[in-house]
Structure 1
Amino acid sequence: MSRLVHLGNAVVDLVLQVPAAPERGGDVLARAASELVGGGFNVMAAASRQGLPVVYAGMHGSGPRAAQVRAALAAEDIAVLQPVLADRDSGLVVTIVEDDGERSFITVPGAEAQLDAGALARVELAGGDHLYLTGYSLAHAANRTALVEWLPGVGDAVVVFFDPGPLVATLPATDLELVLARCDWVSANAAEATTLTGLDDPVDAARALRRRIRGGVLVRCGPDGCVLALHDDDPVVVPGLSVPVVDLTGAGDAHAGAFIAQLSRGVDPRAAARWANAAAAIAITRRGPATGPTYAEVAEFSPANLRAQPAQAAARPRPAAPRPRA
């Protein structure tokens, strides 16, 4: 059976619920605070809850945050490939969630930023596996050096999935193009797609990005759903589902995990995108970073909507506001 092999970062999120982010130099009282495992864990948990076997192939440390990460992975039935990295804890992300659901991040890197050639040598991939790369991993110099040397050797039978993330603008252009050239799928929010292409319209951005990779492109447009661009077809808009927004954190991760799980079942990409839109809609009605629903929850959520909303070639969703990590 195919697997999701994740080479991103599993970290601890310190989540602060605030009315609005403070101005520079200001202060604000948080309504609540919680520590939850997030980052790459969000995608892994989303895929696992959809029934796809998942392996975390990134690094993890030896401190209390790393122990929290491993416990969360075990609770979701996610295998851990790498040994403990001594004398370094896993990273911390301060996540500020405002009343309108928008969120901001401050990241403190840890063990997950220490991926090297020796660690990648432990990654054994089989045909049909989905290999997940992120802009967050590539943003760390050590990880990027190891990954860009290792990636060209990944066999063609492995499906490479890339989520550029908001830090994609900081990546060296030559390294980014090497990664894109090996990608079978790119999934980005509208702001990230604009960064990658210079085009504000999500449909135009999806079309342009599609020319730079060997597979398909998803551009996530929040409540408007997503744009899907396949090899020989014009991009199509797969409509989203309207739900009350509680917390946008991890919505894009829920979308990616559900989409990959559907592809692994042999589902058509358009149907997989509709399913992923539903998973993301459920996720934003819940608080926390890893809010991806189970397969049964998506199936029960709105089967009529999932069947009745075909992709629309002519529709043009409005560009979504920048939403890091969406």
Structure 2
Amino acid sequence: MSLLVIGDIMFDIVARIDGPPFAGSDHRAKISFLLGGSGANQSIWASHLGVPSKFCGCVHADDYETIIDQFVEYGVNATLQQVASHSGRVVCIVSDDGERSFITDRGANDLLQLKFLSIPLMNDVDHVHISGHLLYQEHIYHDIIDFIAKCKSKNIMISMDIGSASFVRDVGANRFNVIAESCDFLFANNDELKAISNDNIIKNEGQHQHSCHGIIILKNGADGACCVDSYNNIIAESNGVEVSVVDSTGAGDAFFAGFISAYRKTKDMTIALTEGVKMGALCCTMVGARPGSAELMLGFIRCINHYTNDN
């Protein structure tokens, strides 16, 4: 059975600067041009970890071959709608401590139509994951509601990553809450969860009033992660892993893949959180939001397993 991710594709311009950014002058940086996009990254990381993965997104027709080739390289079965609008672009500014800020032009991503999802693509899907960035466009939001209803009728698991607190504030929390009501898993950090919470009321530290009837996977960055049930009970936790951060872009996408890969195998929340934290930490040790070399992966996993066993 397969995971299907419905989400965004971006051309990433990653600028790693020395020291804090400042306005009105030049700043030396190391600049990389990479393929990214949260949804695309999640499907690629999941495939890299052995989860049969599919992806649905939207790109400019001239970019189709370049983008589809990378999905093929990572073993992802991708369906890409082709349009005349330019593909998504994002400028990612990474400070010397690895923290990043995004300047986003969503481009073709905002033109996605879920009717381009073919019936054969859905044949063996048992889990659909939705990128919250897509809810920015009203027509996609309504398409997703209809699509989720069809999935639920076939007992397909649904999850969503909220993606950005600023996007929630731009369009309002209602769209995210409507989708969250149907989610088996909702992935968020504290800022994102607070943004969609009713009246932004925090009941306890790390716990919010929310509309998700499933499990919230709360990402706390370097401090690890926890699972919160629909009654705001913390049911599983995992500590963070200390690494030398190079670039935190895509860490949440790698976390998602690590969590889902482990959960599909074990159905154990604590194990899944631990693997998610490991993969998020791994992503922070390299430039870009997608998996690196096999040698880097294996070396990192050995290091983290040693660290975990010693602590």
TM interval, short-chain normalised:
0.7 to 0.9
Offset from partner CA, 1:43-62 (integer Å, 9 cap, x none): 12211111011111122221
Aligned 8 A contact 1:224 1:239 in 2: yes
Alignment correspondent of 2:156: 158
Moved more, 93-102 or 15-24: 15-24
Query: How far apart, CA to CA, are the structure 1 residues paired with 2:141 and 2:292?
Result: 28
- Pairing of 1:124-139 with structure 2 (within 5 A): 124-125=121-122, 129-139=126-136
Aligned pair 1:92/2:52, yes or no? no
Query: How far apart, CA to CA, are the structure 2 residues paired with 1:145 and 1:163?
Result: 17
Query: How far apart, CA to CA, are the structure 2 residues paired with 1:130 and 1:292?
Result: 25
**Which residue identity lines up with residue 206 of structure 2 in the other structure?**
V
**Which residue identity lines up with residue 88 of structure 2 in the other structure?**
G
Aligned 8 A contact 2:190 2:206 in 1: no
TM superposition shift of 1:290: 1.6
Query: How far apart, CA to CA, are the structure 2 residues paired with 1:291 and 1:169?
Result: 31
Gaps of 5+ in 1: 310-326
**CA RMSD of superposed structures (Å):** 2.6
Query: How far apart, CA to CA, are the structure 2 residues paired with 1:174 and 1:231?
Result: 18
Query: How far apart, CA to CA, are the structure 2 residues paired with 1:117 and 1:287?
Result: 32
TM superposition shift of 1:85: 1.4
Offset from partner CA, 1:114-135 (integer Å, 9 cap, x none): 1225224657535762211122
Aligned 8 A contact 2:11 2:89 in 1: yes
Query: How far apart, CA to CA, are the structure 2 residues paired with 1:145 and 1:233?
Result: 28
Aligned 8 A contact 2:258 2:278 in 1: no
Aligned 8 A contact 1:21 1:96 in 2: no
Residue among 73, 98, 105 paired with 1:75: 73
Query: How far apart, CA to CA, are the structure 2 residues paired with 1:194 and 1:297?
Result: 37
**Which residue identity lines up with residue 36 of structure 1 in the other structure?**
L
Aligned 8 A contact 2:20 2:96 in 1: no
Query: How far apart, CA to CA, are the structure 1 residues paired with 2:254 and 2:4?
Result: 16
Check 1:175–1:75 CA distance in 2 against 1; reply closer, same or farther (3 A cut).
same
Amino-acid identity (%): 24
Say which SS state the counterpart of residue 122 (structure 2) adopts: coil
Pick 1 or 2: higher relative contact order, CA cutoff 8 A, min separation 6.
1
**Which residue identity lines up with residue 74 of structure 2 in the other structure?**
E
Alignment correspondent of 1:318: none
Residue among 113, 116, 139 paired with 2:110: 113
Query: How far apart, CA to CA, are the structure 2 residues paired with 1:202 and 1:233?
Result: 11
TM superposition shift of 1:109: 1.9
TM-score by length of 1: 0.82
Check 1:152–1:22 CA distance in 2 against 1; reply closer, same or farther (3 A cut).
same
TM superposition shift of 1:248: 0.9
- Pairing of 1:151-190 with structure 2 (within 5 A): 151-155=148-152, 157-166=155-164, 167-190=167-190
**Which residue identity lines up with residue 217 of structure 1 in the other structure?**
I
Moved more, 300-309 or 99-108: 300-309
Check 1:119–1:41 CA distance in 2 against 1; reply closer, same or farther (3 A cut).
same
Alignment correspondent of 2:53: 54
Check 1:298–1:285 CA distance in 2 against 1; reply closer, same or farther (3 A cut).
closer
Say which SS state the counterpart of residue 81 (structure 1) adopts: strand
Q: Give the structure with the larger strand fraction.
A: 2
TM superposition shift of 1:145: 2.8
Query: How far apart, CA to CA, are the structure 2 residues paired with 1:275 and 1:8?
Result: 23
Check 1:175–1:169 CA distance in 2 against 1; reply closer, same or farther (3 A cut).
same
Aligned 8 A contact 2:79 2:117 in 1: no
Gaps of 5+ in 2: none
Say which SS state the counterpart of residue 129 (structure 1) adopts: strand
**Which residue identity lines up with residue 282 of structure 2 in the other structure?**
I
Alignment correspondent of 2:261: 261
Aligned 8 A contact 2:4 2:125 in 1: no
Alignment correspondent of 1:217: 216
Check 1:308–1:132 CA distance in 2 against 1; reply closer, same or farther (3 A cut).
farther
Alignment correspondent of 1:323: none
Alignment correspondent of 2:277: 277
Query: How far apart, CA to CA, are the structure 1 residues paired with 2:115 and 2:16?
Result: 40
Offset from partner CA, 1:162-192 (integer Å, 9 cap, x none): 1101112233444322201110001111211
Alignment correspondent of 2:31: 33
TM superposition shift of 1:20: 4.4
Aligned 8 A contact 1:219 1:228 in 2: yes
